[in-house]
Each structure stands twice: as structure tokens, then as C-alpha cells.
Amino acid sequence: MKKYDALLILPGSLKDEALDSALKAVENEVTKLRGRVVDSRRVGTRTFSRPLGKLDSGHYVRMALELEPKAVAALHGRLKLNENVFRAQIVVAQKKKVAAVPAERKEEGVGNGKS
């Protein structure tokens, strides 16, 4: 299985209970495709800069998924059919790299807060 990051926008008009059930429905779609939701995090509700369709705001949710590469297109298609998912973007998860400052640069004062 490969790791993916998904960003979902759900209608801002959804209340807490409806939002929870919509997210549960998304998780069920992932498990139907033999995947797994590793992490789900609500980013918050944001107002769009201009109305999109009939919506003026949305709940943003980030999900970390483990899924077979062949199942990503199927998941995206299923999310398009879900009326509670306004937009969905699924991308391959990037490994986080920590940039190390070379030792000789640290001695010069770079990277240690001294300038």
C-alpha cells in the first residue's frame, strides 16, 4: 500500500453531527477499497473568496490514507458522487526531509541563530 494525503472540502452549511457522518462515509469508502485512514484532521471552516456554485464557505479536512495505487481513481470517483463532498484532492504523501546545515556553515554563524 502507498501513502496518500487527501484534502476534502465539505459544505460549510453542515453542522457537527452531519459533518461527522460525512467524514465517516468517506472513511467507509476508503475501507471498501481495502485502504485505511491513518489520520483525519479538521483544518477549519473558511469563507471562499468568491461563491463557488451555491456555496460561500467550506469545512476543510486533511486525511492521511494508505491505499493501493489502482484504487485512488476509484476513490476519487466515489467522492465525486457523494453530495457532502464539495471538492477532493488526493496526492502521494511526501516524505518529510529535515534540512541539515553543514558543520562548516554552523561555525560561520549560519543555522545557529547568530548573524
Return the CATH fold of 2-107.
Alpha-Beta Plaits (3.30.70)
Domain boundaries, the chain: 2-107
pLDDT digits (tens, 9 = 90+) for 84-93: 999 999 999 8
Query: Where does the pLDDT of residue 113 fall: very low under 50, low under 70, confident under 90, or very high at 90 and above?
Result: low
Q: Is the pLDDT of residue 114 over 70?
A: no
DSSP states of the chain: -EEEEEEEEEETT--HHHHHHHHHHHHHHHHHTT-EEEEEEEEEEEEEEEEETTEEEEEEEEEEEEE-TTHHHHHHHHHHH-TT-SEEEEEEPPPP-PPPPPHHHHHTTSSSS--
Q: Is the pLDDT of residue 107 over 60?
A: no
